[in-house]
Amino acid sequence: MIPELSNGSVLMKDPQRVQEILQSMLKAGSNTLQVISDFDMTLTRFSYNGKRCPTCHNILDNSKTISNECRLKLDLRILSCLLQLDHLLETYYPIEIDTSRSVEEKLPLMVEWWTKAHDLLVEQKIKKDELAQAVRESDAMLREGYELFFDRLHEQSIPLLIFSAGIGDILEEVIRQANVFHPNVKVISNYMDFDEFGMLRAFKGELIHIYNKREGALFNTGHFKELRSKPNVLLMGDSLGDLDMADGVQDMKNILKIGYLNDKVEERKQSYLDSYDIVLVNDESLEIPNAVLHYLT
């Protein structure tokens, strides 16, 4: 039906079911469709040329942003913050993807990670007008085929909700610089709160981390009410926590879930196959979501 689904990177537990969902969505028409996607490591690349790409939180800590030469010039306080951010990633990311621990066990540790990172960013007194440059100089990259993905959704007036436990200000900057922040895009994420001098003083609202996207979705009922006429959902994520992003959708008819399995493939394959309809293994492109959208629109 969709030739790209035979690609080597595509795994499906029940291809027949995928076909049925796709047919039902096609029949309902593209004006009933909405897309809900995670940001970090779903819309952005996980790695490039064998090197990990940064998440929103780690863009400010990226090697290019803070080059060694630059690091020497920085005052010790900032340098120490950056090193601590590095250290947090090394400590908590392995926990995030550890299959031997339960969600209950990981949850408090994930909250601890986000809280420590946000405190450190506030300590750094980041300025609002420094974000654009940090993003420009970082290694953050949207996945291959992103222009087609964003532009098609815009042209077809299909709403795209980016639901991210990353940092809203940074992710908006990434898509703005890529010229794809179209009016059909809405973002739910952690936003920075700047003081009157444009200095970061806190984060706004309730923290969104990888295990509370369900609460985040239910909190934003207004958004989903507006989209009541769009009960067919294409969901894209890279973490099992992303599966809850559509929990606010009203009167859902069909949902097709595409999951990127970027890391620890063998250990996590079965749980991804059990929860996502289509699993993409070590695939750095948006080819499959684009092929699905091409079929549906």
> How many whole angstroms separate alpha carbon 206 and alpha carbon 6?
41
As measured in angstroms, the least distance from the Cβ of 42 to Mg ion is 5
Footprint on residues 222-261 left by Mg ion (CB under 5 A): 238
> With respect to ligand C5P, which residue has the nearer C-beta, 57 or 268?
57
As measured in angstroms, the least distance from the Cβ of 198 to Mg ion is 28
For residue 142, the partner it binds in ligand C5P, Mg ion, none, with Cβ less than 5 to 8 A by kind, is none
Burial 42-61, CB ≥16 within 10 A → b, else e = bbbbbeeeeebbbbbbbbbb
For residue 210, the partner it binds in ligand C5P, Mg ion, none, with Cβ less than 5 to 8 A by kind, is ligand C5P
Catalytic annotation, pick one of 14, 40, 238, 274: 40
CA 272 to chain centre: 16
> How many whole angstroms separate alpha carbon 107 and alpha carbon 273?
22
> With respect to ligand C5P, which residue has the nearer C-beta, 19 or 220?
220
Footprint on residues 94-153 left by Mg ion (CB under 5 A): none
For residue 277, the partner it binds in Mg ion, ligand C5P, none, with Cβ less than 5 to 8 A by kind, is none
Q: Strand pairing partners for 31?
A: none
Which residue bears the tokens 């993807």? 97
For residue 164, the partner it binds in Mg ion, ligand C5P, none, with Cβ less than 5 to 8 A by kind, is ligand C5P
Binding part of the chain for Mg ion, among 8-16, 39-47, 90-98, 189-197 by CB under 5 A, reads: 39-47
Is 277 in the active site?
Answer: no
Which positions touch ligand C5P (CB under 6 A)? 38-41, 55, 57-58, 88-89, 93, 96, 113-114, 117, 164-166, 210, 239
> How many whole angstroms separate alpha carbon 285 and alpha carbon 252?
28
Task: Report if residue 40 touches Mg ion, rule: CB under 5 A.
Answer: yes
Is 40 in the active site?
Answer: yes
As measured in angstroms, the least distance from the Cβ of 55 to ligand C5P is 3
Task: Report if residue 41 touches Mg ion, rule: CB under 5 A.
Answer: yes
Q: Strand pairing partners for 203?
A: 192
Strands 47-48 and 33-37: unpaired
Is residue 190 left, alpha or beta, with left meaning phi > 0 and alpha meaning psi from -120 to 50?
beta
Question: Residue 116: CB partners within 8 Å, gap ≥ 6?
Answer: 84, 88
SS3 state at 11:
strand
Give the number of C-alpha atoms closer than 13 A to the C-alpha of residue 21, restricted to the C-beta side: 22
Q: Which two tokens stand for residue 128?
A: 């609002």
For residue 219, the partner it binds in Mg ion, ligand C5P, none, with Cβ less than 5 to 8 A by kind, is none
Catalytic residues: 38, 40
Interacting residues toward Mg ion by CB under 5 A: 38, 40-42, 238
